[in-house]
A and B are shown apart, each in its own frame.
Chain A
């Protein structure tokens, strides 16, 4: 009877040890409930419909696996989340603006995997729009400029748009952050701002929607091609990384996914190609 107890005790201890060894070597088993999160933050657009975004993306992702979507409202929180996820090797995925990727790429070990597209294009232009009575950049000294981007991003754009020698004009301008490009454009039309920064796509929309407002506008200066937001992944491979990339890529191919992507301001994804990678890796260096 005593020997049986000893045998059972050793069997129990051995089973527990084996279980511990197996679970420690296979983190996927331990974290079976841990969801892979797709974090989103974009300072280029004032997207603040977080509740709807989370609900819509989670509903899309739910049948496809243990994934969730998490929009983030501030740059500081977003960068904190990335650091934490990287240090814990969580295998999360991040969607961010190309400009923001350039800002953080040296600090955080991430690589671009997908780039957003609008009607098949991965680039777009931002335009500084004024009313027609503005003919020279110097007339914008101290003017209010409406923009849907964050203040830091808008200042960065303004400096580039106004060019060398006009930095003092860029810094003298008052930035009025508005919810969307169309609000920025109407702010110029209605006189709440003397200038607006909007994408070429928004300006085109306005030309169809309200030609009388559109005809008031002057396209003072354009940025040239800018890259759309990117999906970045930890450089260290994780088991579900390829699956998430596959799911995201598929979103642009069907109405269900495309309608959700349109809430973020684009309609598809494509793999980052050599030329885009070069821009992403070299810009800001």
Chain B
């Protein structure tokens, strides 16, 4: 009797082990089956390449990759590859990648980064992403941190592209003790008058991405020439303006943006609750043009230097 009992116990134990093994192998298989696809608009673009590599490092799952800048496969073939592989998440770098993914796998979970003005994209209820632009309050907090004595900042903008953004900036500026002097123009014909009004009044000029204001190189040079004449520093949103004489550029940190995208992907895979489908970027990249700052005699906060990513002398 005792022998039978012990044999039954052994069988029961064996059965439990078998069930545990089966369940864990299913879990493992499920984890292994997770499919992440990266679609890059063009991997030869430095910022797209950085985002691609950082995402790949941070995601913790094997990834499939498509480079639209290089892949010789036709869009039709790539669409077929995507529909056969059925990825759980598609990470799209740049607008070309997003638009392609949207067309090729309309029902998928999409995460985008590196897209200027994402609001114009066709969005689905499974579109997630990181905006490419820092919110005005982040810019203003960082400007205030680096240039604590500058409290009057001028902006030239157009209602067509930036009315709401400027309203937000004016409101945010008050939170950090900054006064925004804004002047609206319809097109480049209004630029001279706007500069004449803004530059003498403001302590610094904030160059924002507005196609009606920066419509061509001449317009851009007018802004920099006027600010140089009045020794007013120009704040900018991109490093490309540093060579033209911008005193500072504050932009989104690409690596942080890709890490956020990797975090969003993991949240989607585990079915976590994601309250904000489109997030603000969490990291900033600051370039300080010391040559310009010294020339204009602008006072900087030395304690803020640890926040600066690159100093130009």
Q: Give the B-binding residues of A (Cβ under 8 A).
A: 45, 47-49, 51-52, 55-56, 142, 144, 146, 174, 176-180, 182-183, 186-187, 190-193, 205, 209-213, 258-259, 262-265, 267
Shortest CB distance A172–B (Å): 11
Known contacts A176-B259, A177-B259, A190-B138; is-contact A205 B306 (Cβ 8 Å)? no
CB-based contact A174/B266 at 8 Å = yes
Q: Is B45 part of the binding interface, using a Cβ–Cβ cutoff of 8 Å?
A: no
Q: Is B135 part of the binding interface, using a Cβ–Cβ cutoff of 8 Å?
A: yes
Please, how many angstroms separate the alpha-carbon atoms of A52 and B306 in the complex? 11
CB-based contact B284/A262 at 8 Å = no
Q: Identify the closest chain A residue to B140 (Cβ).
A: A210
> Which residues does chain B contribute within 8 Å of A262, judged by CB atoms?
302-303, 305-306
Known contacts A191-B276, A192-B280; is-contact A180 B141 (Cβ 8 Å)? no
Known contacts A142-B272, A182-B142, A187-B282; is-contact A205 B303 (Cβ 8 Å)? yes
Give the one of B142, B285, B309, B313 with max A CB within 10 A.
B309
> Which residues does chain A contribute within 8 Å of B259, judged by CB atoms?
176-177
Known contacts A52-B310, A182-B145; is-contact A190 B303 (Cβ 8 Å)? no
Please, how many angstroms separate the alpha-carbon atoms of A210 and B143 in the complex? 12
Give the one of B266, B275, B306, B307 with max A CB within 10 A.
B306
* Total of A-B residue pairs, C-beta within 8 Å: 100
Please, how many angstroms separate the alpha-carbon atoms of A205 and B313 in the complex? 26
CB-based contact A210/B175 at 8 Å = yes
CB-based contact A263/B260 at 8 Å = no
Annotate B277-313 by CB proximity to A: 1 below 8 A, 0 otherwise: 0011111110000000000000000110111111101
CB-based contact A178/B283 at 8 Å = yes
Q: Identify the closest chain B residue to A211 (Cβ).
A: B175
Q: Identify the closest chain B residue to A47 (Cβ).
A: B306
Q: Identify the closest chain A residue to B300 (Cβ).
A: A259
The 9 closest A-B pairs by CB, nearest first: A192-B282, A265-B306, A52-B311, A187-B282, A262-B305, A178-B283, A212-B175, A49-B309, A179-B283
> Which residues does chain A contribute within 8 Å of B263, judged by CB atoms?
144, 174, 176
Known contacts A178-B283, A209-B176, A262-B302; is-contact A191 B275 (Cβ 8 Å)? yes
**One of B135, B144, B253, B256 near A190 (C-beta < 8 A):** B135
Shortest CB distance A99–B (Å): 18
Known contacts A49-B310, A142-B272; is-contact A259 B302 (Cβ 8 Å)? yes
> Which residues does chain B contribute within 8 Å of A177, judged by CB atoms?
256, 259
Known contacts A142-B272, A209-B145, A210-B176; is-contact A263 B282 (Cβ 8 Å)? no
Q: Identify the closest chain B residue to A206 (Cβ).
A: B141
Sample 15 A-B pairs with CB under 8 A, ordered by A number.
A49-B311, A55-B313, A146-B282, A174-B267, A176-B256, A178-B283, A182-B141, A186-B282, A190-B135, A192-B281, A193-B282, A210-B144, A210-B175, A263-B311, A265-B306
Please, how many angstroms separate the alpha-carbon atoms of A212 and B263 in the complex? 28
CB-based contact B305/A183 at 8 Å = no
> Which residues does chain A contribute within 8 Å of B142, judged by CB atoms?
182
CB-based contact B306/A213 at 8 Å = no
Total count of chain B residues near the partner, CB < 8 A:
36
**One of A142, A144, A193, A209 near B144 (C-beta < 8 A):** A209
Shortest CB distance A282–B (Å): 29
> Which residues does chain B contribute within 8 Å of A55, judged by CB atoms?
311, 313
Shortest CB distance B303–A (Å): 6
Please, how many angstroms separate the alpha-carbon atoms of A262 and B256 in the complex? 23
Annotate B172-198 by CB proximity to A: 1 below 8 A, 0 otherwise: 000110000000000000000000000
Please, how many angstroms separate the alpha-carbon atoms of A265 and B308 in the complex? 11
Shortest CB distance A221–B (Å): 22
CB-based contact A180/B307 at 8 Å = yes
CB-based contact A56/B311 at 8 Å = yes
CB-based contact B284/A183 at 8 Å = yes
> Which residues does chain A contribute within 8 Å of B267, judged by CB atoms?
174
Q: A49-B310, A51-B310, A176-B259 are in contact. List 16 more A-B contacts (CB 8 A).
A: A52-B310, A176-B256, A178-B253, A179-B256, A179-B284, A183-B256, A187-B282, A192-B279, A192-B280, A205-B145, A210-B175, A210-B176, A213-B175, A263-B306, A263-B308, A267-B303
> Which residues does chain A contribute within 8 Å of B175, judged by CB atoms?
210-213
> Which residues does chain A contribute within 8 Å of B313, judged by CB atoms?
55
Please, how many angstroms separate the alpha-carbon atoms of A87 and B282 in the complex? 42
Please, how many angstroms separate the alpha-carbon atoms of A47 and B310 in the complex? 11
> Which residues does chain A contribute within 8 Å of B280, judged by CB atoms?
190-192
Shortest CB distance B77–A (Å): 36
Give the one of A47, A174, A176 with max B CB within 10 A.
A176
Shortest CB distance B79–A (Å): 33
CB-based contact B305/A259 at 8 Å = yes
> Which residues does chain A contribute within 8 Å of B176, judged by CB atoms?
209-210
CB-based contact B260/A176 at 8 Å = yes
Annotate B121-147 by CB proximity to A: 1 below 8 A, 0 otherwise: 000000000000001011001101100
> Which residues does chain A contribute within 8 Å of B145, judged by CB atoms?
182, 205, 209
CB-based contact A258/B302 at 8 Å = yes
